[in-house]
């Protein structure tokens, strides 16, 4: 609204000046006919100014509402990608827990906060993720983070024109986060040895925490933005601690064997 008003500043100023001039001439003249003319002109100028301002406010509010709705629609397209990476983080949490949590809907920031304070850093690099064919946890996590980063980059490419600077910056941070690169390029960031927990070497501090913890904080920020763009009750995470749903409780704390598929064991990746 203020941008449009700034563009109309000169015409409105001229109308106001003409209005003041009409008032001044109205007071200086003695002729009733001339007074009526100046009174009519002044009233017309004032009416024009008020009409322009009201129309500008109305049109600007409508445009702002349409822009918010379009931005929200764009943001909602990122929900599946966030749900995917959130599910991977929950699986890591479950695989490194020794006691069951409670089922039931929870907000994404709550999940990420729980994961940040959990035993995930003890996830064993020789343990197998809950997928078939068998794949070790480091590769499974790397694939999930990589898919999420690709989705975020595609999201920015498509919808950046409809997003605010804060959201774009946050998306770039997540897609290019140090934790993503560490997990994506194991040759550049090799694990010390196969007997060492997967995150025990993450000692570099970023804003008071490890890269993994910082990554979860950034995910929480994004989840809050997506929640604001959604119906609150329609953007929740549903953890499943059931023994019948992989991964098994604490299954990631030690090296394991490849999972058995419908055709028997499958060589690990």
pLDDT at 153: 95
Under a CB-based contact definition with an 8 Å cutoff, are residues 83 and 211 in contact? no
pLDDT at 266: 45
Token reading at 96 = 């490194």
Residue 148 CB neighbour total at 10 angstroms: 21
Q: What is the mean pLDDT of the chain?
A: 78
Residue 236 half-sphere exposure, CB side, CA atoms within 13 Å? 10
Under a CB-based contact definition with an 8 Å cutoff, are residues 198 and 125 in contact? yes
If one compares 158 and 127, the residue with the highest pLDDT of the two is: 158
Cα–Cα distance measured from residue 126 to residue 111, given in angstroms and rounded to the nearest whole number: 25
pLDDT at 208: 54
Cα–Cα distance measured from residue 162 to residue 182, given in angstroms and rounded to the nearest whole number: 31
pLDDT at 133: 76
Cα–Cα distance measured from residue 119 to residue 115, given in angstroms and rounded to the nearest whole number: 8
H-helix or E-strand spanning residue 260:
strand 260-261
3-class DSSP state of 106: strand
**pLDDT surpasses 60 at 199:** no
If one compares 117 and 205, the residue with the highest pLDDT of the two is: 117
- The residues facing 261 across adjacent strands are 264
Most confident of 33-47, 83-97, 132-146: 83-97
| pTM (two decimals) | 0.72
pLDDT at 193: 54
């Amino acid at each position: 609204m203020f941008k449009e008003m700034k563009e109309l500043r000169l015409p409105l100023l001229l109308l106001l000046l003409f209005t003041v001039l009409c008032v001044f001439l109205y007071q200086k003249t003695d002729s009733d006919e001339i007074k009526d003319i100046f009174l009519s002109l002044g009233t017309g100028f004032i009416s024009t100014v008020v009409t322009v301002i009201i129309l500008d406010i109305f049109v600007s509010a409508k445009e702002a509402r349409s822009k918010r709705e379009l931005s929200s629609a764009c943001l909602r397209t990122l929900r599946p990608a966030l749900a995917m990476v959130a599910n991977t983080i929950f699986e890591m949490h479950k695989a490194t827990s020794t006691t069951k949590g409670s089922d039931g809907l929870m907000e994404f920031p709550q999940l990420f906060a729980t994961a940040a304070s959990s035993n995930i850093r003890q996830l064993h690099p020789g343990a197998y993720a809950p997928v078939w064919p068998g794949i070790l946890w480091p590769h499974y996590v790397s694939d999930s983070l990589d898919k999420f980063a690709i989705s975020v980059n595609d999201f920015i490419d498509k919808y950046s024109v409809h997003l605010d600077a804060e959201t774009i910056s946050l998306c770039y941070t997540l897609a290019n986060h140090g934790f993503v690169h560490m997990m994506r390029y194991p040759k550049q960031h090799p694990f010390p040895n196969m007997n060492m927990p997967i995150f025990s070497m993450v000692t570099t501090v970023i804003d008071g925490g490890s890269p993994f913890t910082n990554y979860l904080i950034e995910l929480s920020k994004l989840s809050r933005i997506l929640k604001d763009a959604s119906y609150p009750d329609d953007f929740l995470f549903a953890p499943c601690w059931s023994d019948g749903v992989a991964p098994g409780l604490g299954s990631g704390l030690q090296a394991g064997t490849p999972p058995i598929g419908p055709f028997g064991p499958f060589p690990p990746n």
